[in-house]
Structure 1
Amino acid sequence: MMVVWLLAFLLYGPAIIFWEFIVGGSTVPDDECFAEFYYTWYFLLCASTFEFFSPFVSVTFFNLRIYQHIHKRSKRRNRWRATQGVESVGRELRPQQPGCRGFPEMAEVLNITSICPQAKPLPSNSTPTHGATTSSLSLFRDKKVAKSLAVIVCVFGVCWAPYTLLMIIRAACRGRCVGYLWYEITFWLLWLNSAINPFLYPLCHHSFRRAFGKVLCHGRQALQPRPQPV
């Protein structure tokens, strides 16, 4: 979090402080207050590329790669399950071994094993192995994390993309093509994202939920009066 704030300061701090000296004068009217680069579309485009478009595209790309990897793992696991199902059906339909005397039903009832050769044990892959169970749990966790990341990225894009694009368009036409109402709507979308995040992250991640629970429980314990020694 500190790195994000530091990068934002390094991007906008020098522009706010030194823009007037670089361009040779102020372009802001005396009765208004906004940044000097407010109507400089190329600066806003570069800043938006650095702070929004690049992170958003990168996270989206990595999320798609994660989905592709999970899809490949799911296909391999489905093929493995189909193979195991065919093998189990083949074992059930396997003919009786030659050399068994008498009636097999009576042999099973009377537990007579001397007249029949000892049955071969089932292969070790006939029952779910520990590795297969671990792989299933790992695949389930990866799917859950990928879905949570997709929800967070989509909410971030929906809340930030309109304002970012609108500011670039507004700077290019110097505010004449974008109404004030649209600016207010997109601006409040940014605050909506900040309001959603405290609920979205605990909802999508169990670790955040536990951390919030610890913070809230610690705050309640701090508010409770401590018993005074007698």
Structure 2
Amino acid sequence: MASSDYSISWNASSVDEEEGHTLTWYIIVGIIYGSIILVTIVGNLLVILAFKRDRRINTKIANWYIVNLSVADLTVGLISLTINLIWLFDPEGWPFGEIPCKIYLFIDYVVTNVPVVTIIFISLDRYWLLTKKLEYPKYATKTKATVFIIFMWTFCITFFGVLTFAWIPITGFQEEIEYDWNCELEATYNFECQLFMIALFFFVPLLTIACFNFVVYRNIRERSKGFVQSKPVALATKKPAASTSNANAKPNDTDGSNTGLGKGTSDISLISLSVQNNIAKGTAVKTAKPADNKQKEFNRHRKAAITLAVLVGVFVVCLLPFYIASLLGTLCEECVGDLAWEITSNLFWCNSTINPFLYAAMNLYFRQNFVKFLGLDKCIFKKRTEPVTSFTDG
């Protein structure tokens, strides 16, 4: 939703300011903005390629939502950021006219809001994994994931298609927009519509995600209570003192109760002790193994919750300023300046730049594929074989 309708509110004074930009300004802005675009495109392409090539990734249902997120983020880099850079460099404002403007806004609104809905389903998947346990495979299936993904795109395409192309015929509300130099969405001039959009695509998703994550956090906290790392049984590592003395006793040694069967008794004791030790060791191993598995499972879920919390935290930091500016801009056109629009819009878009780095930081399999695709596996990083512990495990 970080569309360019608010990224630059062009007027006569802003045109004059743009004409005053120096060559140095264009070079610096071009390098910085171009780098952001390149990183966004390459980062999300790596996510998609890793999903396509690595069965360890594409067999996890949660990763289907991740790749869906990356498809939308990739489109942000290819279209939203790229066209905004062209617009930013044109001193006369929007250079393409009305129809390209509406198509651009439609695409931009769709691809920036599909990730919002996707994060809801990522949180739902994590919620199912922790609460359904053995029944989780019944809930997390490829068929359901496909249906959910189709629903996301269909819902966003329908909603923003109506707002972009049918707003005036349906509502009769019309705002004069000079498409020769400006590109904005008529619906955003309506306060009620703007408020509804912010509630639907920010506050409702945020509340839903918070509820899911609260349940996940509470579940993990309950699992952590009373969890004690199991230790081997003492019998497995220590021999009884009496048995040791018997083992070291000579055949002729007597304690007043020797009946001449000392050696035989000693041998039998050794054999019996050996059997007991083996049984005890086996019991200790069997006792420790489930505990180790529980420890690993707990660590995996805990790290998954942290990862999801980081993803949601970045989502809030990147999106909230834009929505606040959008609401203020509807109430008071002069309250939000051109620079504020540009900063908040690009911060919104940069969420698509950051997401691939979150996957690489938190998921070993994604990280291994990124390193391999970039040709860094032999010169910088050493391959690791420990199991994945990210929220994409399922």
| Distance (whole Å) between structure 2 residues aligned to residue 56 and residue 214 of structure 1 | 35
1:13 shift after superposition:
0.9
Structure 2 residue corresponding to 1:167, chosen from 308, 326, 340? 326
1:205 and 2:367 correspond? no
Question: Counterparts of 1:72-87 in structure 2 under 5 Å?
Answer: 72-78=222-228, 81=229
Matched residues, number: 202
1:15 and 2:163 correspond? yes
Question: Counterparts of 1:121-200 in structure 2 under 5 Å?
Answer: 128-171=287-330, 173-200=331-358
3-state DSSP class of the match of 1:77?
coil
1:61 and 2:211 correspond? yes
1:20 shift after superposition:
1.5
| Distance (whole Å) between structure 1 residues aligned to residue 308 and residue 218 of structure 2 | 14
AA aligned opposite 2:174: S
> 1:101-145 deviations in whole A, cap 9, x for unaligned?
xxx663243497837987777598756432112111111111111
1:27 shift after superposition:
1.2
1:9 shift after superposition:
1.7
Higher RCO (CA-CA < 8 Å; seq separation 6+)? 2
3-state DSSP class of the match of 2:226?
helix
Question: Counterparts of 1:35-46 in structure 2 under 5 Å?
Answer: 35-46=185-196
1:179 shift after superposition:
2.2
The normalised TM-score by structure 1 is 0.71
Q: 1:142 to 1:72 in 2, by over 3 A?
A: same
1:109 matched residue in structure 2: 248
3-state DSSP class of the match of 1:34?
coil
Instruction: Name structure 2 gaps, 5 residues minimum.
Output: 1-67, 69-148, 251-262, 376-394
AA aligned opposite 1:13: G
| Distance (whole Å) between structure 2 residues aligned to residue 202 and residue 6 of structure 1 | 29
Q: 1:114 to 1:199 in 2, by over 3 A?
A: same
| Distance (whole Å) between structure 1 residues aligned to residue 332 and residue 187 of structure 2 | 11
2:388 matched residue in structure 1: none
1:192 shift after superposition:
1.6
The normalised TM-score by structure 2 is 0.44
Contact 1:11 1:47 in 2 (8 A): no
2:198 matched residue in structure 1: 48
Deviating more after overlay: 8-17 vs 208-217: 208-217
AA aligned opposite 1:130: K
| Distance (whole Å) between structure 1 residues aligned to residue 307 and residue 191 of structure 2 | 34
Contact 1:170 1:176 in 2 (8 A): yes
Contact 1:41 1:168 in 2 (8 A): yes
Contact 1:28 1:34 in 2 (8 A): no
> 1:169-226 deviations in whole A, cap 9, x for unaligned?
211x241222222221111101221111122222222343355467667xxxxxxxxx
Contact 1:41 1:169 in 2 (8 A): no
Contact 1:163 1:186 in 2 (8 A): yes
Q: 1:32 to 1:211 in 2, by over 3 A?
A: same
Let me know the Cα RMSD of the aligned residues: 3.3
Q: 1:41 to 1:212 in 2, by over 3 A?
A: farther
Q: Percent identity?
A: 27
Contact 1:48 1:164 in 2 (8 A): yes
1:77 shift after superposition:
0.9
Instruction: Name structure 1 gaps, 5 residues minimum.
Output: 218-230
1:147 shift after superposition:
1.0
